Amino acid sequence: MTGKGLITCLWFDGQAEEAAHHYVSIFKDAALGRIVRTGPAGPGPAGKVLTVEFELNGQRFVGLNGGPQFTFDEAVSFQIHCADQEEVDYYWQRLTEGGGAESECGWLKDKYGVSWQVIPDGLIDMIGDADEERSARAMSAMLSMQKIDIAAIRKAFDGA
């Protein structure tokens, strides 16, 4: 993984390689890249994983084993745009398994504490619709959910 562009660096406390393998197993368009280990000069014991490069749906990441000083929070999240409810269900289940936590409005935290938004196609159009009544009904429905149920939001949007 070389060249120009943006790469998101995720700071882990020793789980960078495990997390990279986990994410690569979830996303269909994913690849594991270079793993850099510490040398005799450190930091830490020689041979310990320092960084892991990986790519998910075209987005490049580096997992860094930086230690316990920093942790993830909801101030930064990754959006997964999904074609349909089946895809929403897939990502929701895979990212919450093993210790993840559901939140509201399509947000979740995975077992590493990374925040994700699982967003079905059409959701943003409905909650941002120019018809304020339809938009308000869709927003109200969404605010009552954890995992997004696009059919329920569409029903509310349509006034059914």
pLDDT digits (tens, 9 = 90+) for 41-97: 988 889 999 999 999 999 999 999 999 999 999 999 999 999 999 999 999 999 999
Find the helix packing angle between 132-143 and 150-158, rounded to 10°.
150
- The closest of 55, 90, 80 to 63, measured between CA atoms, is 55
H/E stretch holding 80: strand 77-82
Interval 130-147: pLDDT, tens = 999 999 999 999 999 999
CA dist 142 and 128 (Å) reads: 12
CA dist 48 and 2 (Å) reads: 22
- What domains, with CATH codes, occur in the chain? 1-70 (3.10.180.10), 72-160 (3.10.180.10)
H/E stretch holding 124: helix 123-127
Q: What is the pLDDT confidence band of residue 3, given thresholds at 50, 70 and 90?
A: low
Q: Give residue 101's pLDDT.
A: 97
Percent of the chain with pLDDT over 70: 98
- The closest of 80, 95, 89, 98 to 147, measured between CA atoms, is 89
